[in-house]
Amino acid sequence: TNHSTFQLTIRVAMTANEMFYRCVVLFLCCVQLGTVSCTFLNATNVTYGIDSITQLLTGILPVNSLCEVAGEKGVCENKVVCSLGFGYAMGTGNCAYERICCQYKHTCGGRLTALQGVFQNPSYPQTDFNKQMCTFKVEVATTTCAISINMREYSVGVIENGGCLKDAFTILNYPKAGMVNLCGNLNGHWEKFSFTRKMSETLEINQLLMSGNYKWFMEIVQYDKCQPIVTENVDCGVSELPAGGGDEKLPPWTAALQWAATNTLFCGATLITASYVITDAKCVYNVPIEMVLVYIEEIVSLNADPSPFNIMVSRIVTPWTYKETSGSLVDKLALVKMASPVKFSRYMRPICFPLSGGITEGTEVSYATRVYVPPLTPSTSAPRFLYKSNVVPFLTCQREWSGLGLSIDTTTFCSKFTTGPCANQLGHAATVSRSNLIKSEIAGIYAKSDCTSTSPVVYTNLYSYLPWLRISIV
């Protein structure tokens, strides 16, 4: 119609679906015409503006839920609204009410108002070279409790002298995140952190680009449900393998990380779910997913040699505030998601979550490890070890390590081995027995030791990171 107003007659007796579709028509007319004159049977003539109609339909229109088409995420949206917002219609996906899955893409200077969207360099998928300061804002919804950033593709600058000096990706208004700058090749890295509108009405992202030759494509998603959804496997933490002091079969949750190009094992890891292993953040810091594999030795029977296999990686998750420094061990843990889940068996099971409440002085911890002395491949696997030790007082650990220039806080704990290897042990797990003595749970991740002194071994205390684990395993 070319008229500035139109007349729409709606029956009083109608089904819920009829009401919905007529409301959609009414809403779209408001968008296009600005003002709508609506005549209801047995009612007076009422005129609504766009803002009034939007408020009127808030309780009727379904929430713009998240959707997915061929691996691409978007928001269920009306096709016209998607087009007016410069979104890309990907298909229906799992959307209802004749909505389509819409993906909103933004570049420098953009502002995302939907629950999901893409932030990319201006010429993506091509590389850009202009030196600039690129800003991007996310409007935080009233129901948002967490936000995730999935770096599907990210190649911006390089780490120089331990930091991002010329190029840096930074979240400006998230607590502690302003101290963290990211750069390098971060393909497949994924971060999820708690964020609400009470903290800020917008999430502000800044990308410093001074080197040129950069490209990125990242998905940003807001979540309105943040209750833990991960539950333990019923058979977690149970090992039927014999324990010993050297060259033994390792517990059924033991894994490792392997360089894809050379098949070299370089860090320990532990099965925590069918899809995730947990390791040390240093092992995967600035490592793209295509460079690393998860290595697992499957045991068919106690009398047979382990059968090794590896799995590609689909995601790397570290705490957003992790910072690679030699004098700090804060946030030194990472989750690595496998491209396909493993199938649990009698001799392949996950470790239990750290749920018993904490670790105290004198607690006995078990430590299962391989000794990695590069070059080391599965065919030349080093001896395997199973050791036990006791947690030392926190102040003792803090005092001994302060003399070596290392800051120890309550996100770590320490133990001393009377015997055992002193080599590259990064990423291996320290476990404790639960009160029933049947199951074991993961307590820490090996973080630091000093082969030249008698200082205790330092572990990342996973009891301090249980909320992060809960929100990150998705």
**254-472 belongs to CATH 3.30.390.50:** no
What's 104-223's CATH class?
Answer: mainly beta
Given a cut of 70, is residue 244 above it in pLDDT? Answer: no
By CB atoms closer than 10 A (0-12, 13-18, 19+), residue 68 is middle
Q: Is the dihedral of CA 283, 289, 295, 300 positive or negative?
A: positive
User: Do the bridges between strand 412-416 and strand 429-433 make them parallel or antiparallel, or are there none, so unpaired?
Assistant: unpaired
- The domain locations on the chain are 104-223, 254-472
Whole-angstrom CA distances from 57 to 87, 220, 379 are 22, 27, 65
Q: How confident is the model at residue 321 (pLDDT cuts 50, 70, 90)?
A: confident
Query: What's the CA gap between 259 and 131, in Å, rounded?
Result: 34
Q: What is the mean pLDDT of the chain?
A: 79
Among the listed residues 26, 78, 94, 32, the one whose alpha carbon sits nearest the alpha carbon of residue 56? 26
The listed range with the strongest mean pLDDT (54-63, 89-98, 146-155) is: 146-155
Q: What six digits make up the tokens of 84?
A: 């007016």
| Tens-place pLDDT, residues 26-77 | 544 444 444 444 443 333 344 444 444 434 443 344 456 778 888 888 888 8
User: What is the C-alpha separation between 446 and 429, in angstroms, rounded?
Assistant: 6
Percent of the chain with pLDDT over 70: 74
Instruction: Please state, for a pLDDT cut of 90, what percent of the chain lies above it.
Output: 35
The residue behind tokens 């499957």 is 298
> What is the mean predicted confidence (pLDDT) over 3-19?
43
Higher pLDDT, 50 or 107: 107
> Residue 150 has what pLDDT?
94
Q: Compute and round to an integer the Cα radius of gyration of the chain.
A: 27
| Cα gap 297→326, rounded to integer Å | 32
- Taken in order 367, 368, 372, 373, the sign of the CA dihedral is positive
Minimal CA–CA distance to 114: which of 87, 83, 79?
Answer: 87
Residues 172-206 have pLDDT tens digits of 888 766 667 899 999 999 988 888 999 999 999 99
State the CB neighbour count (10 A cutoff) for residue 224.
14
Q: Please give the average per-residue pLDDT across 92-114, as a whole number.
A: 89
Structure token digits, residue 458: 């330092």
Quote the pLDDT of residue 372.
Answer: 53
DSSP 8-state class, residue 178: G
| Residues 83 and 71 sit within 8 Å (Cβ to Cβ) | no
Reported pTM: 0.78
pLDDT, tens only, 352-402:
999 877 888 888 888 776 655 454 555 445 556 667 888 999 999 888 888
In this structure, what token pair is assigned to residue 27? 């809403």
Q: What is the pLDDT of residue 301?
A: 61
For 72-92, write each residue's pLDDT tens digit.
888 888 888 888 777 889 998
Looking at residue 239, its pLDDT comes to 82
The whole-angstrom separation of Cα 458 and Cα 464 is 14
* Tens of pLDDT, residues 399-454: 888 877 788 888 999 988 655 545 557 888 999 988 777 889 999 998 888 766 67
